[in-house]
């Protein structure tokens, strides 16, 4: 059983249709094979029985001639089949007393002076039985032999042996097996086709349900549509209830996050305004700390909002318009650097998530690249479809700036870390990208760029229209 375990494991990982088809075809093959072996064995047995009946008729004819009035040692005459007269034809008969020498044994002309094999020793324990078996002819051909004992009273006992070619039985059996193989092969093909049709028809509701969920995941629908059999209908209903509940939870989360943002930003604005009346040194400190608090509040509010929205079914964002808008914006912001931003995004590329989150992540990365670039930034968007169930979107942002040592790349994505304090910013940009990407099941990696600066590789769940 252990040698078949890898095969069983591979089948177990396949779809329900494959599992049903493999199991049905396996058991159909096993049943047809067993039935074929049984039928072929029964047919051979019936063929042997019919052949023995023919031999027994000849033996009875010889017995009748033997007990007819007259001398028992006379010529027994023909037995009704001319093949007994042809030398070594394969059809033979032989009559003799138990233990008699060869000269006293009468036989058909076809035996050509030879003798038929005995099927049992001549003694009183088995005398009177009709014995059947196989033996060899004088020319070494296989024979089917029937042996019968007869008692003619005062004239004593005789043993009658009649034999025919065993290859007739074998050829009949082979013809039957060939016909059986052809018939069962056609039957197996018919069973296989009907089984596949039944599986396809029976599992169609599951395929429809899968397509409906795929439409929701692609943003083409917001509910499971269609009618389903009563075995699957409760599942579709529960999925719709789950989607509705999830949508309500997300709406409440958006509302709460928005309320919290307004509740915190207003007091911070008041604190900053009141700082204007404070001494200069105190006002600077208050504005500095208020700015840090605002950054922290925005950071955690963004995380809370993204956590509520990440992975929402049906949310898709076109990538090219978002990235194109960001590149135009940052080209204007850094126009004093005469910055060239190259854009190459695959047509139809989509992000499985909120547009605002994509803008947040891509914007931080492009902003960081533009801030440190000497004059060129390259943005590339590609799709990986190796896993059809989980296609991945990859954004690659390169710059020709000073780059970053390998030892400092992981340090840079930690929250609040900055490469150069003289550059504007709070140090939260890369950490925000990392956290948002993780919420969507993606990742951010920093590496050396072919342009000479830093390369940022952002991997996210994606799709392609």
DSSP state of 86: S
Max CA pair span of the chain? 156
In a domain, 325, yes or no: yes
Establish if 207 belongs to a structural domain: no
Range of the domain at 79: 74-167
328 and 275 within one domain: no
Are residues 377 and 279 located together in one domain of the fold? no
53 in a structural domain: no
Q: Cα separation of 40 and 33, whole Å?
A: 11
The whole-number pLDDT of residue 417 equals 47
CA dist., res. 278 & res. 287, Å (int): 11
Q: Give the E-state strand segments of 294-339 in sequence order.
A: 317-318
In a domain, 116, yes or no: yes
Contact indicator for 396, 456 with CB cutoff of 8 Å:
yes
Q: Residue 350: inside a domain, yes or no? A: yes
- Of the CA atoms within 13 Å of residue 19, those in its CB half-sphere come to 10
Give average pLDDT by consecutive 10-residue segment, the chain, 465 residues: 53 69 86 93 93 90 74 60 86 83 77 82 66 87 89 78 91 93 92 87 84 75 81 84 79 70 70 67 70 68 59 73 91 86 90 85 90 91 80 91 78 54 51 83 88 91 81
Determine the pLDDT at residue 33: 92
Q: Which of 167, 195, 226 is the C-terminal boundary of a domain? A: 167
Query: Rounded CA gap, 216 and 132, in Å?
Result: 76
Report the domain count for the chain: 3
Task: Give the 3-state secondary structure of residue 145.
Answer: strand
Q: Are residue 329 and residue 433 in the same domain, yes or no? A: yes
HSE (CB half, 13 Å, CA atoms) of 270?
6
> 104-113 long-range contacts, Cβ below 8 Å, gap at least 24?
104/73, 106/73, 106/75, 106/76, 108/79, 108/84, 109/84, 109/85, 110/83, 110/84, 110/85, 110/86, 111/138, 112/87, 112/88, 112/138, 113/138
Tell whether 351 and 326 lie within a shared domain.
yes
Let me know: does 88 contact 139? Beta carbons within 8 Å: yes
Q: Could you tell me if residue 408 is inside a domain? A: yes
Q: Residues 325, 460: one domain? A: yes
Q: Which residues have a Cβ under 8 Å from the Cβ of 323 and sit 6 or more positions away? A: 343, 345, 362, 366, 379, 381, 395
Residue 421 lies in a domain: yes
In a domain, 96, yes or no: yes
Residues 303 and 371 occupy one common structural domain: no
The CATH number of whichever domain residue 375 belongs to comes to 3.30.565.10
pLDDT at 432: 78
The answer to whether the predicted template modeling score (pTM) of the entire model surpasses 0.85 is no
Q: Do 335 and 458 lie in a common domain?
A: yes
Last residue of a domain, one of 152, 167, 182: 167
pLDDT at 125: 61
Transcribe 15-43 into DSSP letters.
-HHHHHHHHHHHHHHHHHHHHHHHHHHHH
- Examine the domain organization and report whether 330 and 291 are in the same domain: no
Q: Are residues 419 and 447 in the same domain?
A: yes
Cα dist from 227 to 202, 206, 214, 220, 222, whole Å = 15, 11, 16, 18, 16
How far the first Cα of the chain sits from its last, in Å, is 46
Say whether both 322 and 394 belong to one domain.
Answer: yes
Residues 358 and 406 in one domain: yes
Distance of CA 8 to CAs 22, 32, 195, 404, Å? Answer: 10, 22, 20, 50
Q: What is the pLDDT of residue 391?
A: 84
Residue closest to 93 by CA, chosen among 47, 172, 148, 157: 148
Please identify, among 149, 167, 185, the residue that sits at the C-terminal boundary of a domain.
Answer: 167
DSSP string, 191-252: HHHHHHHHHHHHTHHHHHHHHHHHHHHTTS-SS--S---TTTHHHHHHHHHHHHHHHHHHHH
Interatomic CA distance for residues 458 and 442, integer angstroms: 7
For residues 329 and 370, membership in a common domain is answered with yes
């Amino acid at each position: 059983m252990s040698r078949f375990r890898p095969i069983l494991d591979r089948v177990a990982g396949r779809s329900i249709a494959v599992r049903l088809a493999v199991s049905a075809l396996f058991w159909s093959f096993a049943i047809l094979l067993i039935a074929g072996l049984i039928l072929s064995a029964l047919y051979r047995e019936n063929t042997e029985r019919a052949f023995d009946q023919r031999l027994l008729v000849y033996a009875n004819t010889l017995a009748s001639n033997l007990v007819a009035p007259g001398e028992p040692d006379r010529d027994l005459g023909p037995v009704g089949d001319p093949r007994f007269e042809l030398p070594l034809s394969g059809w033979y008969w032989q009559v003799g007393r138990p233990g008699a020498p060869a000269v006293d044994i009468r036989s058909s002309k076809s035996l050509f002076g030879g003798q038929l094999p005995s099927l049992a020793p001549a003694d009183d324990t088995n005398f009177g039985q009709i014995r059947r078996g196989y033996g060899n002819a004088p020319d070494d051909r296989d024979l089917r032999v029937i042996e019968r004992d007869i008692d003619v009273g005062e004239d004593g006992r005789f043993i009658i042996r009649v034999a025919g070619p065993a290859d007739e039985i074998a050829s009949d059996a082979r013809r039957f097996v060939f016909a059986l193989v052809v018939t069962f092969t056609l039957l197996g093909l018919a069973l296989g086709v009907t089984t596949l049709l039944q599986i396809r028809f029976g599992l169609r509701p599951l395929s429809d349900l899968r397509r409906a969920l795929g439409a929701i995941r692609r943003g083409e629908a917001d509910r499971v549509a269609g009618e389903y059999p009563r075995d699957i209908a409760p599942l579709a209903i529960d999925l719709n209830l789950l989607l509705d509940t999830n949508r309500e939870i997300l709406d409440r989360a958006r509302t709460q996050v928005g309320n919290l943002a307004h509740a915190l930003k207003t007091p911070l604005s008041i604190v900053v305004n009141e700082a204007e009346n404070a001494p200069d040194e105190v006002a600077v400190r208050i504005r500095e700390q208020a700015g840090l608090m605002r950054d922290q509040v925005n950071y955690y509010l963004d995380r809370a909002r993204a956590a509520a929205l990440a992975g929402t079914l049906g949310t898709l964002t076109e990538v090219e318009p978002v990235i194109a808008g960001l590149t135009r914006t940052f080209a204007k912001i850094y126009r004093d650097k005469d910055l060239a931003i190259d854009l190459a995004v695959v047509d139809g590329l989509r992000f499985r998530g909120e547009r605002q989150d994509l803008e947040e992540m891509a914007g931080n990365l492009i902003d960081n690249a533009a801030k440190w670039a000497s004059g060129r930034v390259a943005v590339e968007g590609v799709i990986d479809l190796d896993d059809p169930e989980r296609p991945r979107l990859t954004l690659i942002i390169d710059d020709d700036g000073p780059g970053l040592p390998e030892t400092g790349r992981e340090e840079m994505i930690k929250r609040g870390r900055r490469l150069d304090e003289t550059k504007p910013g709070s140090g939260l940009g890369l950490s925000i990208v990392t956290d948002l990407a993780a919420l969507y099941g993606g990742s951010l990696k920093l590496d050396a760029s072919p342009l000479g600066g830093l390369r940022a590789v952002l991997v996210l769940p994606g799709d392609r229209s």
